[in-house]
Amino acid sequence: MSGFGNANANLVIIDYLVSQAQDDANDYYVGRSGETLKNMIEKVLELTMQEVYLTHAIKCKPLQSNKPSPSEWNSCKSYLFSQLEFIHPKVIVTLGKEAYAHLTNDNEENFENVRGHVIDYQNYKLVPIYHPQYLLRNPELKKITLNDLHTIKSCL
């Protein structure tokens, strides 16, 4: 799945990899996690799904497991950076520590220090947030993420 949405979007959302459910359905909004992401976009950011662009750092379901190999990332990263250059959004949101770490080449352990902050990244504003799936497993973090979404909204 290479990407979905508005090629002129002010907001690009980058997930880490394609889940099995997304791969099977060939859709981005699958299951509770997909519904959570859709609600975050529509109800908090007050954008329609047609106003954003969603993509993955790893463009296809990893072959062996949910942990892609370095070669799978290396084969996808130039495509991701080309997408960003083509769309040229105001704001990039990474979902979870893996998407953030791969995009920025920063250590995954640094995610908690940067989560929710506006980072000047190349010519963009980057805001890393918790992944919707992580929020479903840790509902006490939803309020923190709501604040992060308000930060994102203020950048748009």
Per-10-residue mean pLDDT of the chain, 156 residues long, equals: 84 81 58 90 96 85 61 66 93 95 87 96 96 95 97 96
Tokens of 91: 């704001």
Answer whether 139's CB lies under 8 Å from 39's CB: no
What pLDDT does residue 1 have? 44
What pLDDT does residue 46 have? 97
Which backbone phi and psi does 118 adopt, to 5 degrees?
-85, 120
Alpha carbons within 13 angstroms on the beta-carbon side of residue 115 total 20
Q: What is the pTM of this model?
A: 0.88
Residue ranges of domains in the chain, CATH in brackets: 4-155 (3.40.470.10)
